[in-house]
Amino acid sequence: MSSFLSSSIGKKLIMSLSGLFLVLFLLVHLILNSFLMFDNTGELFNAGAHFMAMPVIRFGLQPVLFGGFIVHIIYAIILTLQNQKARPQKYASQNLSNSSTWSSRNMFVLGGLVLVFIAMHLMHFFVPIQIQGNVHDDYQLVKNLFTNGSTGLVYTGLYVVGAILLGLHLAHGFWSAFQSIGMSNIIWRARLEKAGYIYAIIISGGFIIIPLYLHFFA
């Protein structure tokens, strides 16, 4: 088992599985967030938020989610450091733009930026709601962030940028996860790549529309 986890393919399997787990989480997160747009009184979203705050989910699933993030980040760092070391002397000129996509070459940078976004995002919502526990109306908290006088537009912009970065990360990550598990071939590669792009557009588009909606229409 130890030789498996220290092998390159073993480490990538862990990246894939944790990545796919986070991919699923994003869908759940987006569905709950979409409640923000369907009910301007906030009752629907608050009901969803209370459901997610049930002890089973909060103490059962949340640690698993955080674990998924931590594993994904730690293995990304280990793999990237090894990859940096594998080419001690860089090329004077190298042109990869014709042979691979920008997002596929910059997954670590994109992931790092998404992590910065997540840190900010947790400070906005997770800390006051779940740690300080002094929020009675979750809907109002979210709405205030995006509509508050001078800062509302800034945060709306930051959340849009965060969603775009996440979309680029998913555009390569989704297909790549299946490839690393070995669940791909010439036929399925095209299908999985398309599915990945569609998924990235749905997730990223959804998370872009919600803050824009709250800022301009709610």
Partner 1 sequence: MADKVIKELTIKVWRQKNAKTAGKFETYKINDISGGTSFLEMLDILNEQLINDGQEPIAFDHDCREGICGMCSLFINGRAHGPDDDITTCQLHMRKFNEGETITIEPWRAGAFPVIKDLIVDRTAFEKVLQAGGYISVNTGGVPDGNAIPISQDDAEEAMDAAACIGCGACVATCKNSSAMLFVSAKVSHLAKLPQGRVEASRRAKNMVAKMDELGFGNCTNTGACEVECPKGISIANIARLNREFLSAKIKD
| 46 lines the binding site for partner 1 (CB under 8 A) | no
| 182 lines the binding site for partner 1 (CB under 8 A) | yes
Q: Which two tokens stand for residue 142?
A: 């979210």
Query: Within a 10 A sphere around the Cβ of 215, how many other Cβ atoms?
Result: 20
CA distance 201 to 111: 17
| 2 lines the binding site for partner 1 (CB under 8 A) | no
Q: Residue 17 Cβ, how far from partner 1 at the closest point, in Å?
A: 11
Q: Provide the Cα torsion 155, 161, 162, 163; round to 10°.
A: 110
| 135 lines the binding site for partner 1 (CB under 8 A) | no
Name the residue nearer to partner 1 (CB basis): 8 or 151.
Answer: 8
| 23 lines the binding site for partner 1 (CB under 8 A) | no
| 144 lines the binding site for partner 1 (CB under 8 A) | no
Number of residues that bind partner 1 (CB under 8 A): 44
Q: Residue 62 Cβ, how far from partner 1 at the closest point, in Å?
A: 29
Name the residue nearer to partner 1 (CB basis): 106 or 147.
Answer: 106
Task: Specify the long-range contacts of residues 66-73, CB closer than 8 Å, at least 24 apart.
Answer: 68/18, 68/21, 68/22, 68/25, 69/18, 69/22, 69/118, 71/14, 71/18, 72/15, 72/18, 72/19, 72/22, 73/111, 73/115
| 105 lines the binding site for partner 1 (CB under 8 A) | yes
Applying CB under 8 A, which of residues 56, 87, 134, 136 lies at the interface with partner 1? 87
| 18 lines the binding site for partner 1 (CB under 8 A) | no
Applying CB under 8 A, which of residues 99, 132, 134, 150 lies at the interface with partner 1? 99
Q: Residue 119 Cβ, how far from partner 1 at the closest point, in Å?
A: 24
Q: Residue 193 Cβ, how far from partner 1 at the closest point, in Å?
A: 10
| 101 lines the binding site for partner 1 (CB under 8 A) | yes
Q: Residue 80 Cβ, how far from partner 1 at the closest point, in Å?
A: 9
Position 217: which residue type?
F
Chain residues in the site for partner 1 (CB under 8 A): 3-4, 6-13, 79, 82-83, 85-96, 98-101, 104-105, 107, 172, 175-176, 179-186, 189
